[in-house]
Structure 1
């Protein structure tokens, strides 16, 4: 921080309340997450029940879509940093995502009785493509704006990201509930109503942001945040590139799902390209470079978490539909609605975790961010271990109690609270200002790799009705559900152990970076 900026920051009285801009971003993100998670809750079921894709293909298709959802923020962040700024990027992204949902509504309204209508498939790709491109502009910019509302070193940042995370999960809860009840009814024609509701929600979120952006989004010193960068030429030219970007995304999604893997090489190129772009910048200090290294290392471990966590809308939904007793008080619950458990536990647990971190911080006992994230990985492993007990020696035709899945989501949700908001805050703290949005994109790049891997892992889900040989992963034969869930127990436990071992070194680098920023 420059001396003049430091003096202005010191002139501002300390406050325990949060700026109103946080709650505007909270509301915007809530409606966007309604749209995304509401659609995601029924997407795999729409692919299998309406589009008549088999489970392995639908799983990989879902993984490719969600991977691109997290890959395009790299492009959106780059354009935002240099041309558009956060505000314009969020508005354009929101409009594109709303359009994508309405196109999915058209797709779900036009398919034939046996899902052979060509228009429905092309509209499916077009709708998902519009959402992928729109999310690329929306996601990294709204997340990075949260940190912009606070001064460097403000102790409220972790709590702010936890509050912001509650908006994500509140939107997910509302969206999942509505789309499950009106879309996942057992009748394939009803999926369209889920997509329509998501389109309306995304439109509302975009309007809310546009209404409040000028009034509430500013620094503690009163300077507007997220505006168009100075000396940003070619603003309008970017609009002309949007159709090109959409065509490229559609091509990649089609090739990856129908022809040959294309997303995995793109992920590798993206990692190498971003690393070169950042580490070759001579204006960065040694502490800046070390801070970026921490972001890359932590992002690697995040892949293990999300690859297992993102089984929720894929293999875990298959499990809920086929192997779980979903009847309660005489009513059979739709399989997609169980994804709501994550939101319920996060919303109820977020205040508890925020208070816990604050209380430990006052006493000087708060675990550093890498340790919190390792704890999150361990809780993820415990959730799958519970499922292993539930399905061990399961006989054909026997249904598992839904409370095993409830327990899994409980542990996963508290693991998520230890990892995701903490990771967002860590990126914001360590990223050099000039690469703030791009490094938030790196965080989402880890999610892209994890979601792609999640789709592949879901395709290994054992189907007792299949006559094909048992799936094999690195020589490990997945003969039943116990074998399948044990894969995630082992991978998450090993990742947590390694992260704990190197956490001391990471913390030293983080402390040096934050001291320089102050």
Structure 2
């Protein structure tokens, strides 16, 4: 039987996702190296700033999701976010070694990312009926195709930075984001059936000003707020406050929709498990990047491969495996097995564990002979990339499948908060184990121990999940299913 084709609008969503990945991952590939090489930050300071920035870009989607649900609609939020991210990368591309301009640029990108990240998934979810069997394939396609940008970005931005300077590499990331926005705008006629701006709500007055006026004030104040937060290393305090708010919101959703409480609990547990996964995966931009820069033999045909280019390996693995999984995915009807979802998560964690195991073996071998293998490094990174396809697409599909009015964007933002903000902040704390005052045998031993620990923790989590699934199958007489949302 022929697989039903995807809605045409998905290709414009995929296009802007590709260029958003290009801008974000191009800058991400350069940031830790720029901080240590150009600005002279020590490892501890660089990792702290990197993790704070990476954490905050996932704090803002909870507010961005709320604004899209109540006021802007997903499409308008995405356009506004893309414009802010373009401007932030342009500021970062201005040739200046001032830390103030660095913090300001990162703050603007943080605000733009908040309006973009969660809402791109929600806009995709709007294209399908709640029981449409194409939904999982659509999310896998978005996740995999978006990685075209993250494959090209470290290569293009890394080479631009090496040949012409750091700021040309950063500026190139901004140009990519603007190109994606233009493509997305060209397909506007395919989105007429999606939610638009709530004009009545924007025009309503609150505290003497219309809501649109308060939005403009917020747009001016937010970048300044995040600039000060980055300068004073205050991301952890904000994160605690936002997480407390998120817990309250999830509790309220459960009280409001008691018939969906079982599915909401599963999503909450998926969020916690996904957080552990991303604590490990986000080491790629900090500890793993520094390890490659300092210890891996990067000579290929008498040419030294730039460190930033290794960031493409993960994305290539996601792209290749994601396309295959999308084609192999079969429609599964209205009944969804919760056990199948957990087995997918377990497989993703297992692949991550094996990837870190390869990195640990590579580091130990390098400590003995002074040469860390580039081939084994690439193999480990590829396994980690493959693992991602069994985490985020699975969780996002579960969240959007609930299709609760006014709630989907908020839940997606909370998922981003847990697996992005909390995971990145924890990743920075965990990564401090690798910081050493001198780059020597002690430092490479610290990396070997760190990679081994990461592998062990992940394997323990896999054992717990598989044990849980086995027990549920033994004690549950009929297949465990996820309830679907009823519509009149």
TM-score by length of 1: 0.85
Asked if 1:121 is matched to 2:92, the reply is: no
CA distance in 1: counterparts of 2:25 and 2:487, whole angstroms? 36
- TM superposition shift of 1:322: 1.1
**Equivalent residue for 1:370?**
342
Deviations 1:8-41 (A, max 9, x none): xxxxxx9710001111100011111100001100
SS at match of 2:310: helix
- TM superposition shift of 1:517: 6.1
**Equivalent residue for 1:336?**
308
- TM superposition shift of 1:298: 0.7
CA distance in 2: counterparts of 1:35 and 1:458, whole angstroms? 24
**Equivalent residue for 1:210?**
185
**Equivalent residue for 1:41?**
29
Contact 1:179/1:197 (8 A) holds in 2: yes
- TM superposition shift of 1:285: 2.7
Asked if 1:450 is matched to 2:423, the reply is: yes
Q: Which of 171, 179, 191 is the matching residue for 1:196?
A: 171
- TM superposition shift of 1:274: 2.2
- TM superposition shift of 1:265: 3.5
Q: Which of 53, 78, 83 is the matching residue for 1:65?
A: 53
- TM superposition shift of 1:90: 1.1
**Equivalent residue for 2:76?**
88
Distance 1:353 1:367, change over 3 A: farther
CA distance in 2: counterparts of 1:517 and 1:332, whole angstroms? 59
- TM superposition shift of 1:290: 2.6
Distance 1:145 1:515, change over 3 A: closer
SS at match of 2:70: helix
Asked if 1:29 is matched to 2:17, the reply is: yes
**Equivalent residue for 1:382?**
354
Asked if 1:465 is matched to 2:442, the reply is: no
- TM superposition shift of 1:230: 6.7
Q: Which of 447, 452, 456 is the matching residue for 1:486?
A: 452
Q: Which of 139, 143, 160 is the matching residue for 2:138?
A: 160
**Equivalent residue for 2:484?**
514
**Equivalent residue for 2:281?**
309
SS at match of 2:201: coil
**Equivalent residue for 2:206?**
none
- TM superposition shift of 1:309: 0.9
**Equivalent residue for 2:268?**
296
Distance 1:465 1:514, change over 3 A: same
Indicate the larger mover: 62-71 or 348-357. 348-357
CA distance in 2: counterparts of 1:230 and 1:126, whole angstroms? 31
CA distance in 1: counterparts of 2:5 and 2:467, whole angstroms? 36
- TM superposition shift of 1:87: 1.8
CA distance in 2: counterparts of 1:360 and 1:93, whole angstroms? 35
TM-score by length of 2: 0.90
Contact 1:291/1:513 (8 A) holds in 2: yes
Contact 2:17/2:180 (8 A) holds in 1: yes
CA distance in 2: counterparts of 1:230 and 1:501, whole angstroms? 51
CA distance in 2: counterparts of 1:435 and 1:498, whole angstroms? 31
Unpaired runs of 5+ in structure 1? 1-13, 112-119, 219-223, 257-261, 472-477
Asked if 1:238 is matched to 2:224, the reply is: no
CA distance in 2: counterparts of 1:326 and 1:281, whole angstroms? 51
Contact 1:184/1:336 (8 A) holds in 2: no
Contact 1:104/1:127 (8 A) holds in 2: yes
Asked if 1:182 is matched to 2:156, the reply is: no
- TM superposition shift of 1:337: 0.4
Contact 1:292/1:431 (8 A) holds in 2: no
CA distance in 2: counterparts of 1:250 and 1:50, whole angstroms? 20
CA distance in 1: counterparts of 2:437 and 2:406, whole angstroms? 53
- TM superposition shift of 1:281: 4.9
**Equivalent residue for 1:499?**
465
Asked if 1:352 is matched to 2:329, the reply is: no
- TM superposition shift of 1:294: 1.7
Asked if 1:74 is matched to 2:51, the reply is: no
**Equivalent residue for 1:226?**
195
CA distance in 1: counterparts of 2:71 and 2:36, whole angstroms? 41
- TM superposition shift of 1:313: 1.6
- TM superposition shift of 1:267: 2.5
Contact 1:72/1:133 (8 A) holds in 2: yes
Deviations 1:315-340 (A, max 9, x none): 11111111111111221100110111
Distance 1:181 1:467, change over 3 A: closer
Distance 1:80 1:332, change over 3 A: same
Asked if 1:110 is matched to 2:96, the reply is: yes
User: How large is the Cα RMSD of the aligned pairs?
Assistant: 2.8
SS at match of 2:434: coil
Contact 1:73/1:136 (8 A) holds in 2: yes
CA distance in 1: counterparts of 2:48 and 2:12, whole angstroms? 36
CA distance in 1: counterparts of 2:162 and 2:12, whole angstroms? 31
Distance 1:500 1:516, change over 3 A: farther
